[in-house]
Amino acid sequence: MNLDWLKSGIAPLDNLISFLHKQSKTSDVLKKQVLMELRNNLNIFKNGFLNEVSSDKIIDLLSNDAIQESIKQNFAFKKLKAGGIEPYHVYDDRNKKYIGWTAERLIDKIDEKIVELKTLKKMNNGSVEKLRNNVPLMISNLYYRMKLLADFIQSDFK
């Protein structure tokens, strides 16, 4: 899979992954699980880029189990970061459309995209290679949403 769009962001991505690892040391189990899942999913993108992994394998490895469990347990996603995404949280122009969104709304969109990608793969005999959908764009959008969420959580601004 071509993940060239990820090339410029490997160093900042390492910093975000390290930050999420530190933040996941909390006594709030659901918060810990969501942060760890976000960290793990960002690691999948990083390692997928470094090792030229296929879209199918990346989709298989992405997880939304902690998000689903948090929703079932009525977790308040504002515990990740209160408030809304402001222009100073956005480092990638493609994420400007999320200004004003909360962590909960962004997580809902991340969950929706993971479910959609996994469903598309199942609908096409276990592969997304020959789909008419623009799967590389869908995957890159998912990555940038996850990165925005991590940037938002990491931000010192309220």
What single DSSP character describes residue 84? B
Q: How far apart are CA 24 and CA 37, in angstroms?
A: 10
Let me know: does 48 contact 4? Beta carbons within 8 Å. no
What single DSSP character describes residue 134? -
Let me know: does 58 contact 106? Beta carbons within 8 Å. no
How far apart are the two ends of the chain, measured CA to CA in Å?
A: 37
Answer yes or no: is pLDDT of 22 > 90: no
Residue the block writes with tokens 């592969």: 127
0.75 exceeded by pTM: yes
What are the pLDDT digits (tens) for 28-77?
A: 899 999 999 999 999 999 999 889 899 999 999 999 999 999 999 999 99
